[in-house]
Amino acid sequence: MKLHQLALGLGLALGLVAGAQAQTTMKISISVAQNSHQGIAIDTFAKEVEKRTGGRYKIQTFYSGALGGERESIEAVQLGTQELAFSSTGPVPNFVPEVKILDVPFLFRDKAHARAVLDGPIGQDMLAKFEPKGFKALAWAENGFRHMTNSKRDVKTPEDLKGLKMRTMENPVHVAAYKGFGIITTPMAFPEVFTALQQGTVDGQENPLSVIISAKFDQVQKHLTLTGHVYSPAIFLMNKGAFDKLSAADKQAFIEAAKEGTKANRARVDEDDAKGVADLRAKGMTVIDTIDKAKFVSALAPVNAQFEKDFGKANLDRIRNFK
């Protein structure tokens, strides 16, 4: 009997060791704080991957640019030195140029329109464009609509933007558009932005309310205008080699986990948008919440003409008119 128990015990112990060895750890990172719409995206994703793979895959989460800014993280995923990243589309066109079209100002009517485009055939076709570049794009998520803040003055009309030094994302479409407003553009990685604003290296920046709140920009910016000038998608990216090694069931588990991460992410963006203005006003920011959007759109007419040349009017209209 004792021998039998010993054998059983040994068998169990060996089984546990085998189980422990079978666990694969992967890293995912964001450049903003954990308490944010991006933090909830990757935390949900990590939990879902572990649950859906019976603990065989564990996702380690990194926040606040701990593994570098968005561009560095995407590079690391492409090279395979990091398995996963969650990023805004800011630096993505440097890797997958087709994504640039999503950054055209005033392209989307509202969040519902943007989400429908990304979840529908246009967005799904675009996810496939990542594969030849060494990525598996798991799902679209978002940052939401971007708004402008600065330390100098209230921005009520496009003229008020002229001469402001603004940090922009490392994104060619954004840079072209903001130059169209007469902004002096200063592209830089997100982890450097707070210090640049604090030291006055730049006067302002533009980001969704979710980011403005989680980055505590109210501490270094006095003026906020709800320009909603660009919708900012975000994306779950995985190294293609790492994805291809997964079993068919695990591939599905990762994709489903990313979809759950997106649900949580969008819900948090909605919550931040709903209470963000009151929150930032309470922290001392002046908020201009109604602008004449048509004026801002017409100020960009020359830039938009260029975008229609670059992207094709039919492609832009297909997104604009998507129901």
Taking the alpha carbons at both ends of the chain, their separation in whole angstroms is 71
2-320: CATH topology is D-Maltodextrin-Binding Protein; domain 2 (3.40.190)
pLDDT given for residue 15 in this prediction: 53
pLDDT given for residue 170 in this prediction: 84
- Stated length of the chain: 323
pLDDT given for residue 171 in this prediction: 86
Q: Which two tokens stand for residue 195?
A: 């210090």
From residue 291, alpha-carbon distances to 103, 112, 174, 278 in Å are 21, 21, 20, 18
pLDDT given for residue 22 in this prediction: 77
pLDDT given for residue 10 in this prediction: 55
pLDDT given for residue 129 in this prediction: 98
What is the spatial distance between Cα 189 and Cα 169, in angstroms, rounded to a whole number?
7
> Taking the chain (323 residues) in consecutive chunks of 10 residues, what is each chunk's mean pLDDT?
57 52 90 95 98 98 95 97 96 94 95 98 98 98 97 97 95 93 95 96 96 95 97 97 98 98 98 95 96 95 95 97 94
Contact 104, 76 (CB under 8 A): no
pLDDT given for residue 11 in this prediction: 55
For residue 57, how many C-alpha atoms fall within 13 Å in the half-sphere facing its CB?
27
pLDDT given for residue 280 in this prediction: 97
pLDDT given for residue 9 in this prediction: 57
What is the spatial distance between Cα 271 and Cα 266, in angstroms, rounded to a whole number?
9
